[in-house]
Amino acid sequence: MKIRTLSIGKTNMSFVREAIDLYNHRIGRYVKYEWEELPDVRNSNKLSNDKLKMEEGKSILKRLKPGERLILLDEGGMQMTSVKFANWIETGMSLNGRDICFVIGGAYGFSSEVYEKAEMKISLSKMTFSHQIIRAIFSEQLYRAFSIIRNEPYHHT
Q: State pLDDT tens for residues 36-67.
A: 999 888 887 788 889 899 999 999 999 999 99
Q: State pLDDT tens for residues 72-95.
A: 999 999 999 999 999 999 998 877
Question: In this model, does residue 147 exceed pLDDT 80?
Answer: yes
Domain boundaries, the chain: 2-149
**pLDDT given for residue 157 in this prediction:** 60
The mean pLDDT value of the chain amounts to 93
Mean pLDDT calculated for residue range 94-100: 83
Question: In this model, does residue 69 exceed pLDDT 80?
Answer: yes
Global confidence as pTM: 0.93
Alpha-carbon distance of 43 to 31, in angstroms, equals 37
Q: The domain 2-149: what is its CATH number? A: 3.40.1280.10
How big is the CA angle at 102 (ends 99 and 107), to the nearest 5 degrees? Answer: 160
> CB of 1 within 8 A of CB of 93?
yes
- Strand partners for 120: 71
